[in-house]
C-alpha cells in the first residue's frame, strides 16, 4: 500500500518590503516651465524689458549639475580650524601686502571717502578672488538660472522653507541681472563669475552691483570687472551703506572664559548685537586686553579652533562684514587676513 505524499510545509509569512520614501526629483528633472514663463512675464514688466529679449537669453541658459553640487557643499560648513588655513596663509598674506603697496593711492582714496580701512578692502578681494586671480569661470546666467529654477533640495521637511527662500533669492538675482545688463551695457552671455552668480573682483551679486557699486574714477561708468578704482570704491561703499560701517570702529577682540561660566548660546550665523561688555563679563566672558571701545553693543561668538573653543567679542564692524557673507567664519577670516596684511595681530585696533 502506497503512502500518501507528504503535505508541503507551509511557507513562512512574507516579510513586508521596507517602505522607502521617494527622494525629491533631481533638480534638472523638475518641470520649470510655468515658473520660467512667470519669471519672463514679471521681469519684463518690472524692468520694462521686452519679454522676447529675456526669452532670447534664457533660450541659451543651461541648468548645470556642477553648480548644484558646488552649492551643496559650501566651505562655510567646515569648522574654524579647517576653514582658517584656506585664507590665513603666507602666500595670501604676502600677496595682499604687495597688492596694497601697488594700489596704495587708490585704496587710500576709497578709505578716505567711505571710512573703510584699505586693508579690509584688500582682504575682501583676497578672500573673494585672490586679488583678481580667480574671478570665476561659470557663466553668470547659467549659475543664476540653475539656482533660480533648480536650487538643490535635501528632502528634509525642516529645510523646505529655507530652500524655497534661497531659490526665490536667486530668481530675483537673475531678474536683477537683466536690469544690470541694460544699465551698464553688459553682454549677459559673456559674463563669468562664481557658481553663485557673483561677479568681478569683489564678487558682487547683480542686486549689490546695482545698489552699491559706484564710479570710483569719474569716467561715467561702473566697471567691477576691469576698473580697480571702481572696485575699491564699491567695496568700501557697500560696507558703509549696507553694513553701516563705523569709521575707526573695532571689529572683534579675543575673549577669555571664566572657569565657572556657562556656555554662551548664540546659534546660527546672524549676528545680533544684543549684549554689552558688562553683561558678557557678568556671564563670565571678558576681553583678554583692554576693551577696544566701551558703551557700544556687542555680542560673543565661539569658534572651533585647533586648540579648542575660541571666544571673540564682536562689534558693529564685524556685523558689517557679515552683510557681505553671513558666515561668521567668513567675517573672521576677512578680519584676520586684513590684520595680517596690515602687520597687526588680530584683535588689536
- Catalogue the active-site residues: 128
Contact 288, 312 (CB under 8 A): no
> Who's near 145: CB < 8 A, 6+ residues apart?
58, 61, 62, 63, 174
**Per the structure block, which three cell numbers stand in for 314?**
564682536
Distance CA 211, CA 237 (A): 10
* End-to-end Cα distance, the chain: 109
Contact 321, 243 (CB under 8 A): yes
> Who's near 94: CB < 8 A, 6+ residues apart?
none
Q: How far is C-alpha 125 from the geometric centre of its chain's CA atoms?
A: 13
Distance CA 110, CA 232 (A): 6
- Alpha-carbon distances of 156 from 2, 23, 32, rounded to whole Å: 66, 10, 21
The length of the chain is 349
For 134, the 3-state DSSP assignment is coil
* β pairing state of 252-257 and 192-193: unpaired
Amino acid at each position: 500500500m502506497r503512502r500518501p505524499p507528504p503535505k508541503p510545509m507551509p511557507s513562512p509569512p512574507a516579510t513586508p518590503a521596507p517602505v522607502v520614501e521617494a527622494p525629491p526629483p533631481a533638480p534638472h528633472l523638475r518641470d520649470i516651465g510655468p515658473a520660467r514663463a512667470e519669471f519672463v512675464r514679471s521681469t519684463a514688466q518690472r524692468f520694462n524689458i521686452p519679454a522676447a529679449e529675456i526669452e532670447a537669453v534664457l533660450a541659451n541658459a543651461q541648468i548645470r549639475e556642477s553648480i548644484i553640487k558646488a552649492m551643496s557643499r559650501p566651505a562655510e560648513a567646515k569648522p574654524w580650524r579647517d576653514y582658517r588655513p584656506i585664507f590665513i596663509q603666507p602666500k595670501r598674506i604676502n600677496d595682499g601686502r604687495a597688492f596694497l603697496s601697488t594700489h596704495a593711492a587708490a585704496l587710500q582714496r576709497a578709505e578716505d571717502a567711505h571710512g573703510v580701512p584699505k586693508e579690509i578692502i584688500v582682504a575682501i578681494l583676497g578672500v573673494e578672488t585672490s586679488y583678481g586671480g580667480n574671478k570665476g569661470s561659470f557663466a553668470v546666467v547659467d549659475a543664476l538660472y540653475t539656482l533660480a529654477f533648480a536650487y538643490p533640495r535635501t528632502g528634509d521637511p525642516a529645510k523646505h522653507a529655507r530652500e524655497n527662500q534661497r531659490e526665490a533669492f536667486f530668481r530675483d538675482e537673475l531678474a536683477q541681472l537683466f536690469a544690470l545688463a541694460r544699465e551698464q551695457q553688459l553682454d549677459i552671455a559673456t559674463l563669468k563669475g562664481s557658481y553663485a552668480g557673483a561677479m568681478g573682483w569683489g564678487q558682487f551679486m547683480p542686486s549689490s552691483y546695482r545698489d552699491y557699486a559706484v564710479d570710483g574714477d569719474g569716467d561715467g561708468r561702473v566697471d567691477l570687472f576691469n576698473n580697480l578704482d571702481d572696485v575699491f570704491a564699491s567695496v568700501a561703499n557697500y560696507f558703509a551703506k549696507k553694513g553701516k560701517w563705523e569709521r575707526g570702529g573695532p571689529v572683534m577682540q579675543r575673549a577669555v572664559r571664566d572657569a565657572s561660566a556657562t556656555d554662551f548660546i548664540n546659534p546660527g550665523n546672524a549676528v545680533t548685537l544684543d549684549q554689552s561688555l558688562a553683561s558678557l563679563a557678568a556671564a563670565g566672558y571678558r576681553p583678554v586686553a583692554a576693551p577696544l571701545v566701551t558703551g557700544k553693543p556687542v555680542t560673543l561668538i565661539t569658534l572651533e579652533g585647533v586648540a579648542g573653543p575660541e571666544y571673540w567679542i564682536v562689534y558693529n564692524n564685524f556685523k558689517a562684514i557679515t552683510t557681505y557673507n553671513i558666515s561668521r567664519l567668513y567675517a573672521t577670516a576677512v578680519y584676520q587676513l586684513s590684520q595680517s596684511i596690515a602687520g597687526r595681530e588680530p584683535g588689536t585696533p
